[in-house]
Each structure stands twice: as C-alpha cells, then as structure tokens.
Amino acid sequence: MGAGPSLLLVVLGGVLGGMGRVWLGQWVGRHAPSEFPWGTLVVNLLGALALGGIAAQGSAGGALWLLLAVGLLGSFTTVSSFAYQTLTLLRGPRPGLGWLNLVMTLALGLAALMLGHALGVGLLAPGAA
C-alpha cells in the first residue's frame, strides 16, 4: 500500500479516535468529578484493551492496523495528557494522587492489553463463538 492510502487510513482513524477521546473523557469527568484524571485513565485502559485484541488478530502493518491501531487508538489514547496530569498531581497538594495515577495507568494498562490479547486470541481459537 502506498503512502497516500496509508495516510488516509491513519487520518480517518485519527479523526474518529480523537473525537471519541474528547467525548468519553468529558463524559467520565461529569460522572466522576474529582481532581484525579479518571477520563484519561479510562480512555487509556480502553485503548490498551482494544489494542491487545487487534494485535491478537495479527494485522500489524496492514490497512486495518493503520486504521484502528495507529489512527483510531493512537488518537484515542494519550501519553502526553497522562504525563502532564501526573506531573500536575505530583506538584499539587496531594502528590500521592500522582503516584496513584502513574501506578494505576501502567499496571492496569498492561493488564488491559493482556486481557484484550487473550480475548482476541480466544476469538481465533477453533470452535470459538
């Protein structure tokens, strides 16, 4: 696949993922108001779960990977917001929340990725529904 179609897939996925992140982040923020960045945590965990499932399908490098993993999930999840919010919490009056955010995001993110991968592999198993 050429650069043009590849970029178009990433752009399409990116637009959808970015819009999804803003919507879900704001929705979570309204339903779980606190100084802790629950919205960012939720989008990052859902993104890790989805990426695990996509990776289990073995589509790395193909059109579906560009659309979903690079475009959609790349713009849906956010390392930069996570890092900024963690730093802000660490410098604030309750720095323990920053450490909690760091540990929860990394540990739960890896667990979500592993779960998504296990679910994705299970979908490929013979006789899987």
Binding residue per annotation — 74?
yes
Binding residue per annotation — 77?
yes
Amino acid at 2: G
**Per-position DSSP letters for the chain, written without gaps between them:** --HHHHHHHHHHHHHHHHHHHHHHHHHHHHHS-SSS-HHHHHHHHHHHHHHHHHHHTT-TTSHHIIIIIIIIIHHHS-HHHHHHHHHHHHHSS-HHHHHHHHHHHHHHHHHHHHHHHHHHHHHHSTT--
Residue keyed to tokens 């289990």: 56
Residues making up the annotated binding site are: 74, 77
Q: Which residues are annotated as a binding site for Na(+)?
A: 74, 77
